[in-house]
Amino acid sequence: MTSVADLVARVRPAGAADAAAVRRRVDALAKPPGSLGALEDVAVRLATALGDPPLALRRRTVLVFAADHGVAARGVSAYPPGVTALMCGAFVSGGAAVSALARSAGAEVVAVDVGVDAPPGALPGVMDGKVRRGSRDLSVEDALTPAEVCQAVLVGAAAVLTRAAGTDVFALGDMGIGNTTAAGAVTAALLGMPAAAMVGPGTGVDAAGRARKEAAVTAALARLGDSRDPLRVLAACGGLEIAAVAGAVLAAASASRPVVTDGFITTAGALAAVRLAPAAADWLFASHRSPEPGHHAQLAALGLEPLLDLRLRLGEGTGAVLALPLLDAAGSMLRHMAPLAAVLPRPGA
Amino acid sequence: MTSVADLVARVRPAGAADAAAVRRRVDALAKPPGSLGALEDVAVRLATALGDPPLALRRRTVLVFAADHGVAARGVSAYPPGVTALMCGAFVSGGAAVSALARSAGAEVVAVDVGVDAPPGALPGVMDGKVRRGSRDLSVEDALTPAEVCQAVLVGAAAVLTRAAGTDVFALGDMGIGNTTAAGAVTAALLGMPAAAMVGPGTGVDAAGRARKEAAVTAALARLGDSRDPLRVLAACGGLEIAAVAGAVLAAASASRPVVTDGFITTAGALAAVRLAPAAADWLFASHRSPEPGHHAQLAALGLEPLLDLRLRLGEGTGAVLALPLLDAAGSMLRHMAPLAAVLPRPGA
């Protein structure tokens, strides 16, 4: 993949099966129509993307995109920036939350350094896609140059494309101290919403920290003006991992692979991807509803209904991994349920 | 097991680990405290019941208790009573919804005939525990005799106890045309709530059918008077599968096995079990929130938070099976996550 424009041009809408035909078949299975609720909606989308019935999603990869954020120096997080690099070590050693949950779901975790503030070679076992050692401080200047944004998008795309042949479904995760601030700025800009509507507790910052987050987002939005161009927004706000998520979504859609978002950060990246290539939305599945106030607006804009609502606010891809068995169940429903007519030979009897 | 009193006496509270100690360990894992939300609560309860860390719940059995209901003749369901027996065939052949979802979750489905209106031998592959061919019509007389209630409770207990040695976790399901009416009557009686608060759409009945459901529940409550004795309530309202669920919950608690409820019907049985032996609640895990209006009240009375909210209204154990991977994830978190201190060697640095 040589350019973001190439990547965008390769995105194809889902169409392996006709959605209305799949819905009719789901309605005719051995259950009252609609009685499996949201699982039926997932089944219809999965079959539309992959064919009816869809193949089992046996091989699953969680891509955890990691980067640091200049704005973290402003005290917008409960944790210091050095945690980003340390958590990359935990993804590799298997002691992180996403590692434990991925093991349970039969998924492989791949951590990708898109811009961790650590020297080259400092993160053994992490895929190296470092664009720079952290983004600039979005509260005072553009976080990234246009070239850096494109490079990060292509890192995310490459992470998907190098694994696509051996992966049936991708789950997306993020790691980056300060990245709810960047995601809030990206989301506010793309949706034309105020900073206050985007600023939540993150992983546990206090009220003063929230006020600093809101001030930082407000400053980024003021600098950005009215632009809603996704690449321009990503340059103004960062972060490198959000741009990489956008690239991963575009690449998954181009490679006909379902891709599961996690919380506020990855959904910000997915939103940017869909603004670049609307058909990418066909390949997106939302895992959970985050307590972050802006997540609801992101999902509404994408037209996605999340499957879980467990008060998760960790990131790393934990929610995305937890949702994989629900995608499995939806597929199994299509592969194994009998038609109602086969169970009730004389309907109305 | 010779009597319900014996069964009740064998129920033990969870106590393989100290809940507060488990909570402290969970808080000290490599994540912000509380950031895995409801999954942390499940992890704490699981470890309290099974030890910290809990063993993996590899061997899983879905018990689907089936029975017919005399009240079905009153037009309280969108489906005719004969569907109960036909669906038992689908559980065995693997074409039912619960069969497809159980396959995805690695669970074995065991259908138990507690009182299907079909002749002896008519349901090959179904475990035979038939007490009688359907309960009596709760709108005009007691649905069951006290002896029939006890027999059904013991059928449920036996289904668990004969499988406990080879099962790490039980999921509960139900099949019985008309059983949301019986479950509504049981729940209203046990919680002291009006019939109107208990009557919902079931698997799809219309407004006139709902009015007939409410009238039937009201009649059963009037006959019952102020009694909240669980066995008396089950006799007045039925059904045989609800009584069997109660027995299964008591037996699981006595055998130290976690047991996962499904929707409104199985939670009615679980509520009766907990009213007989309050410590049984320690072994219960609620899978999903049903759209049935009475389900919320049941869960509140049991102090349980459901893990899923997918608009499921099918029964059969479908929700219970869908929640099993979340229990797996909670256990994996306890087995595999590193302490935060191991990841961040110098906290505050």
- Cβ B30 vs Cβ B339: under 8 Å: yes
pLDDT at A225 (0 to 100): 94
- Give A82: exposed, middle or buried? Use CB within 10 Å, 0-12, 13-18, 19+: middle
The tokens for B81 are: 């009573």
pLDDT average, residue stretch B289-313: 97
pLDDT at A348 (0 to 100): 47
> H or E segment at B297?
helix B293-302
Which residues in chain B are closer than 8 Å to A333, comparing Cβ atoms?
97, 100-101
**What percent of chain A has pLDDT above 90?**
92
- What's the pLDDT band for A91 if we cut at 50, 70, 90? very high
Check residue B197 and report its DSSP letter. Answer: G
For chain A, the average pLDDT equals 96
A39 and B313 in contact by Cβ < 8 A? Answer: no
d(CA A262, CA A308): 10
Give the residue numbers of B marked as catalytic: 316
Indicate if A316 belongs to the active site.
Answer: yes
Residues B312-323: tens digit of each pLDDT: 999 999 999 999
d(CA B292, CA B298): 10
Residues B132-167: tens digit of each pLDDT: 999 999 999 999 999 999 999 999 999 999 999 999
Asked whether residue B257 carries a pLDDT value surpassing 80, the answer given is yes
Q: Say how many residues make up chain A.
A: 349
- Give A345: exposed, middle or buried? Use CB within 10 Å, 0-12, 13-18, 19+: exposed
Residues B82-94: tens digit of each pLDDT: 999 999 999 999 9
pLDDT at B52 (0 to 100): 98
Residues 6+ apart with CB under 8 A from B38: A310, A311, B305, B307
Residues A247-296: tens digit of each pLDDT: 999 999 999 999 999 999 999 999 999 999 999 999 999 999 999 999 99
Termini Cα distance of chain A: 60
Which residues in chain B are closer than 8 Å to A78, comparing Cβ atoms?
32
Q: Which residue has the tokens 């033990």?
A: B12
pLDDT average, residue stretch B197-223: 89
* Dihedral sign, Cα of residue A277, residue A282, residue A287, residue A291: positive
d(CA B274, CA B282): 9
From the list A30, A95, A104, the residue facing B338 with the nearest CB is A95
pLDDT at B346 (0 to 100): 64
From the list A35, A322, A344, the residue facing B329 with the nearest CB is A322
Asked whether residue A204 carries a pLDDT value surpassing 80, the answer given is no
Which residues in chain A are closer than 8 Å to B89, comparing Cβ atoms?
343
> B46-62: buried (b, 16+ CB within 10 Å) or exposed (e) per residue?
bbbbbebbbeebeebbb
Calculate the alpha carbon distances from B239 to A17, B73, B197 in Å. Answer: 43, 14, 19
pLDDT average, residue stretch A139-165: 98
Residues A293-349: tens digit of each pLDDT: 999 999 999 999 999 999 999 999 999 999 999 999 999 999 999 999 999 876 444
pLDDT at B349 (0 to 100): 42
Termini Cα distance of chain B: 60
Beta carbon pairs, A and B, within 8 Å: 173
Which residues in chain B are closer than 8 Å to A94, comparing Cβ atoms?
336
Residues A62-74: tens digit of each pLDDT: 999 999 999 999 9
d(CA A86, CA A95): 11
- What's the pLDDT band for A205 if we cut at 50, 70, 90? confident
pLDDT at A200 (0 to 100): 76
> B280-292: buried (b, 16+ CB within 10 Å) or exposed (e) per residue?
bbbbbbbbbbbbb
- What's the pLDDT band for B1 if we cut at 50, 70, 90? low
A105 and B308 in contact by Cβ < 8 A? Answer: no
- What does DSSP say about strands B284-286 and A127-128: parallel, antiparallel, or unpaired? unpaired
Residues 6+ apart with CB under 8 A from B220: B138, B139, B143, B185, B189, B236, B237
B100 and A333 in contact by Cβ < 8 A? Answer: yes
From the list B35, B204, B310, the residue facing A38 with the nearest CB is B310
Q: Which of A251, A253, A325 is nearest to A287 (CA)?
A: A325
- Cβ A90 vs Cβ A120: under 8 Å: no
d(CA B70, CA B123): 20
For chain B, the average pLDDT equals 96
Residues 6+ apart with CB under 8 A from A273: A230, A245, A246, A247, A249, A250, A253, A280
In chain B, what's the furthest Cα-to-Cα distance? 73
Asked whether residue B200 carries a pLDDT value surpassing 90, the answer given is no
Residues B57-75: tens digit of each pLDDT: 999 999 999 999 999 999 8
Q: Which of B26, B27, B29, B36 to mutate to test the interface with A (most CBs of A within 10 A)?
A: B36
pTM of the model: 0.97
d(CA B210, CA B216): 10
Q: Which of A308, A327, A340 to mutate to test the interface with B (most CBs of B within 10 A)?
A: A308
pLDDT at A340 (0 to 100): 96
B311 residue type, one letter: R
Calculate the alpha carbon distances from A210 to A72, A207, A290 in Å. Answer: 12, 5, 17
- What does DSSP say about strands B259-261 and B284-286: parallel, antiparallel, or unpaired? parallel
pLDDT at A349 (0 to 100): 42
A100 and B336 in contact by Cβ < 8 A? Answer: yes
- Cβ A231 vs Cβ A150: under 8 Å: yes
pLDDT at B205 (0 to 100): 81
From the list A204, A325, A348, the residue facing B325 with the nearest CB is A325
Q: Which residue has the tokens 């499988």?
A: B163
Å between B127 CA and nearest CA of chain A: 19
- ipTM for the predicted complex: 0.96
- What's the pLDDT band for B348 if we cut at 50, 70, 90? very low
The tokens for B161 are: 């106890």
- Cβ A267 vs Cβ A298: under 8 Å: yes
Which residues in chain A are closer than 8 Å to B344, comparing Cβ atoms?
83, 86
Asked whether residue A146 carries a pLDDT value surpassing 50, the answer given is yes
